[in-house]
């Protein structure tokens, strides 16, 4: 399976992989009540009948509509129609919240330009210039490539690994970690408060880091930290000197 793309409900990442949705993350977002776990819901007759009918409709095997994975985004994955049925089972209110997230994701899977349009509109509402928006979008593509490379070289990274190298990079570039930078600039996501120049510097650092990791093959967490320092350190000296001047 490809690396799932996360969205958020009640502060919990809801992960998607193609048309499959992580039912386990839905369960956690709905409160994580033991009796409502996906594995238990899937044993009731209503769920079984629904999945069987869906498989017939798609002329596919039930195993194509339900999968179990391990790792950072692991859990029970089900086709998005199964996910909506499960969300409805969890509660009417949660069904409404899940429906919005899943509908948007499926729309963006069919037409990726919708995701770009939503991002551009959001950044404009925040007051970003067109140059900032361009740099922000380009940086997102680079960042996704980097995290995919990190996932491959570290084999099974956790959220702390991504946060660790990001905070190390920001500290070298700005003298502050992501949380401090966000608070200082009044934004939830640190990059939303960066200037065009800062965004392009971060993008360059992450592109160089991705290329180095890809070229060197296997690295451990210590080597990853050394690579971040070697790449971001010189950029940080230039940025901080510019601010001090």
5-110: in CATH 3.40.1000? no
- Structure confidence at residue 19 (pLDDT): 85
DSSP annotation of 112: T
Give the pLDDT score at 242. Answer: 63
Q: Are 93 and 29 in contact (CB under 8 A)?
A: no
Label residue 102 exposed, middle or buried (CB < 10 Å: 0-12, 13-18, 19+): buried
Q: If 0-12 CB within 10 Å is exposed, 13-18 middle and 19+ buried, where does residue 93 land?
A: exposed
**So what's the pLDDT on residue 44?**
92
Q: How far apart are alpha carbons 31 and 130 in whole angstroms? A: 40
What are the pLDDT digits (tens) for 47-66?
Answer: 999 999 999 998 989 989 99
Residue 36: band (very low, low, confident or very high) from pLDDT cuts 50, 70, 90: very high
- Convert the pLDDT of each residue in 185-225 to its tens digit: 999 889 999 999 999 999 999 999 999 999 987 889 999 99
Please give the Cα distance from 73 to 3 (Å, whole number).
8
Portion of the chain with pLDDT greater than 90, in percent: 60
Share of the chain above pLDDT 70, in %: 93
Q: Is the four-CA dihedral 124, 130, 132, 133 of positive or negative sign? A: positive
**Residue 240 pLDDT:** 75
Q: Are 22 and 29 in contact (CB under 8 A)?
A: no
**Quick check: 44 and 55 in contact, CB under 8 A?**
no
Terminal-residue alpha carbon distance, the chain:
49
**Closest to 66 measured CA to CA, from 58, 52, 77:** 77
Q: What is the pLDDT of residue 30?
A: 93
pLDDT at 216 (0 to 100): 86
How is the chain split into domains, by residue range?
A: 5-110, 128-244
| Cα atoms found within 13 Å of the Cα of residue 58, Cβ hemisphere only | 15
Q: Which of 208, 200, 176 is nearest to 190 (CA)?
A: 176
Provide the b/e sequence for 133-160 (b: ≥16 CB within 10 Å): bbbbeebeebbeebbebbbebbeebeee
Whether residue 67 has pLDDT greater than 80: yes
């Amino acid at each position: 399976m490809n690396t799932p793309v996360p969205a958020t409900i009640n502060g919990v990442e809801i992960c998607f992989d193609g048309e499959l949705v992580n039912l386990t993350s839905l369960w956690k977002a709905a409160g994580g009540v033991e009796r409502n776990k996906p594995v238990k819901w899937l044993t009731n007759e209503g769920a079984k009948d629904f999945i069987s009918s869906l498989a017939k409709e798609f002329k596919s095997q039930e195993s194509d509509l339900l999968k179990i994975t391990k790792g950072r985004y692991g859990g029970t994955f089900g086709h998005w129609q199964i996910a909506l049925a499960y969300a409805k089972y969890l509660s009417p209110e949660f069904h409404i919240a899940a429906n919005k997230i899943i509908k948007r994701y499926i729309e963006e899977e069919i037409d990726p330009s919708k995701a770009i349009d939503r991002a551009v509109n959001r950044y404009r509402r925040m007051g970003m210039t067109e140059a900032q928006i361009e740099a922000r979008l380009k940086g997102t593509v680079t960042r996704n490539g980097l995290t995919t490379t990190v996932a491959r070289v570290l084999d099974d990274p956790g959220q702390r690994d991504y946060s660790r190298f990001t905070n190390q990079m920001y500290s070298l570039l700005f003298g502050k970690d992501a949380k401090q930078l966000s608070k200082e600039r009044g934004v939830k996501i640190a990059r939303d408060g960066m200037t065009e120049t800062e965004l392009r510097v971060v993008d360059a650092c992450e592109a160089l880091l991705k290329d180095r990791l890809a070229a060197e093959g296997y690295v451990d967490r210590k080597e990853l930290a050394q690579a971040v320092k070697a790449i971001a350190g010189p950029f940080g000296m230039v940025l901080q000197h510019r601010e001090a001047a």
